[in-house]
Every structure is written in structure tokens, then in C-alpha cells.
């Protein structure tokens, strides 16, 4: 049996842009994706701390070092620039794998600069 386990997250990122007319997805600074071990096109859950909205989408690469966190398509209606979000990725693993697994946690400041990695 496979379990869905918390794999990694980018904690308290700030939404920097929204594009309602884009096809969909979440734009994330490539540095943040790499630090959290989240792949381009990987399914993620986004939790908006400001308004409580939670949704799933996939990531697309944002400009490295830009600090971009962009809600695109319908997701642009679920948060505004300045809102804080948690971007969470999950992985399927066996119970045995899960017992020995440590998730990656990337904490960012108000400009989406990495301030700590666990």
C-alpha cells in the first residue's frame, strides 16, 4: 500500500502576481523550486493563509532569483498579490519509506528570499 506523505513545502511565500488569462498553474521562482525539491509541472497544493483558500495546480518555472509567486488562470481568483501562501508537495511511498523520510521545508521572507531550509 502506498501512502500520500508530505514531501516538501515553501512556507509563507508572498504572491507577487496574478494572470487570470493564463491557461493555469503556479509560477514559482526556480531557486525556490530547487530548494524545496519541487519539480516543474509537479502537482502541488496551495494554501492561502490570508483567506483560507486551498487548491491544487502544477508548477511552472519562474525566473531564477526573481522571487516570483504567480497565480495563473482560475487560481488568480483565489489570492491577491501580497497574500501569503504555503506551497505543498506530496509523494507516494510505502509505510516503511515514510517512517524514514524527512520532508524539505523552505521558509522565505516577505520578498520570497530563502531564510531557512530544513
Could you tell me the CA-to-CA distances from 61 to 36, 51, 92, 115 in Å, in that order?
13, 25, 23, 20
C-alpha–C-alpha distance, residues 70 and 92, integer Å: 27
What dihedral do alpha carbons 5, 11, 12, 17 form, nearest 10°? -80
Cα separations in angstroms, 27 against 13, 43, 80, 118: 12, 12, 14, 23
Q: Which residue among 58, 66, 90, 116 is the active-site one?
A: 58
66 labelled catalytic: no
22 catalytic per annotation: no
Q: Annotated catalytic sites, by residue?
A: 25, 58
Amino acid at each position: 500500500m502506498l501512502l500520500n506523505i508530505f514531501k516538501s513545502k515553501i512556507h509563507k511565500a508572498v504572491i507577487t502576481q496574478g494572470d487570470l488569462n493564463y491557461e493555469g498553474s503556479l509560477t514559482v521562482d526556480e531557486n525556490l523550486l530547487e530548494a524545496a525539491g519541487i519539480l516543474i509541472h509537479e502537482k502541488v497544493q496551495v494554501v492561502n493563509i490570508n483567506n483560507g483558500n486551498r487548491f491544487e495546480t502544477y508548477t511552472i518555472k519562474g525566473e531564477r532569483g526573481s522571487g516570483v509567486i504567480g497565480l495563473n488562470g482560475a487560481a488568480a481568483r483565489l489570492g491577491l498579490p501580497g497574500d501569503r501562501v504555503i506551497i505543498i508537495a506530496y509523494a507516494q511511498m510505502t509505510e516503511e519509506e515514510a517512517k524514514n523520510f524527512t520532508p524539505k521545508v523552505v521558509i522565505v521572507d516577505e520578498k520570497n528570499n530563502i531564510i531557512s531550509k530544513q
